[in-house]
Amino acid sequence: MVAQKKQVRDPEKTKARILAAAKVEFARIGLGGARVDVIAARAKVQKRMMYHYFGNKEALFSHVVESVYADFRNAEAALEIDRLEPVAALKTLVTFTWNYYLDNPELITLVNSENLHKARHIEKSKRLAVLNNAFVERMRALLERGVAQGIFRKGLDEVQILISLSGSGFHYLTNQYTGEIVYGRKLMTKAARDARLAFNIDTMLRLVCTTKYLAQLEGTP
């Protein structure tokens, strides 16, 4: 007779616990490095339950990546940047993106892991397709508004802008460890983080605004 905790059934909570633990482990050490046993132990759940609810390790990974991505897109959509002036909207978006990365470091390593696997886990997701489409469309609309007001440059490609916008923060953070060695400097102190955000906002404005508007900004600081 083995001492045994009374079973309390709560499928939603069990699923959520498995997902949360998987998110931590996959983010910490990648799909290849993560161990099913460790995830189960962290979730305080029998390993069998992971197989019950998610099928296998890779399906669990797919679930994690999709939900992390979806949370990110939904949070951005909630900004409703279409209600702001173009320049304010752009600053808001850069700041939000940077802070979201800082607050959700798993997003970064999970996206990297997913790219190592050629994005095959989110390839087929209809849910992400919809969210991503709207995301790109919001930037297209923002650029259009800025151009109409004579503030933004004509003919910019919203995809290039979005890649640079995410990259300016993402790259800094994902490469923070090799970065500190390469540049011989702490990159994650409060001062360093603030400096990078300010730099990124400046970068995006220089990238998107007309030279004329930039000169005007410099004239009235």
Residues that bind a copy of itself (CB under 8 A): 29-34, 109, 111-119, 122-123, 128-129, 132-133, 135-136, 157, 159-160, 162-164, 166-168, 170-172, 174-185, 195-196, 199, 203, 206-207, 211-212, 214-215, 218
Stretch of 33-41, 98-106, 155-163, 178-186 lying at the interface with DNA (CB under 7 A): 33-41
Q: Which of residues 86-145 bind DNA (CB under 7 A)?
A: none
* 19, 21, 27, 34: which one binds DNA (CB under 7 A): 34
Task: Please tell me whether residue 48 binds DNA under the rule CB under 7 A.
Answer: yes
- State the residue for tokens 């790219």: 115
Closest CA to 72 of 10, 36, 23: 23
Looking at the Cβ atoms of 77 and 136, the one nearer to a copy of itself is: 136
> Which option in DNA, a copy of itself, none does residue 1 bind, with CB closer than 5 to 8 A by kind?
none
The least CB distance from residue 28 to a copy of itself, in Å, is 8
Which residue intervals of the chain are DSSP H helices?
A: 11-33, 36-43, 47-54, 57-77, 86-103, 105-116, 126-148, 158-174, 176-183, 190-208, 211-219
Residue found by looking up tokens 């990365």 in the block: 101
Q: Token pair of 2, please?
A: 């083995």
- Mark residues 54-93: x for contact with DNA by CB under 7 A, - for none: --xxx-----------------------------------
Among DNA, a copy of itself, none, the one that 6 touches (CB under a kind-dependent 5 to 8 A) is DNA
Under DSSP, the state recorded for 148 is H
The only residue of 20, 24, 36, 147 in contact with DNA, by rule CB under 7 A? 36
| Integer Cα distance of 180 and 50 in angstroms | 38
CA neighbor of 39 nearest in space, from 28, 117, 111, 98: 28
Are the C-beta atoms of 100 and 72 separated by less than 8 Å? yes
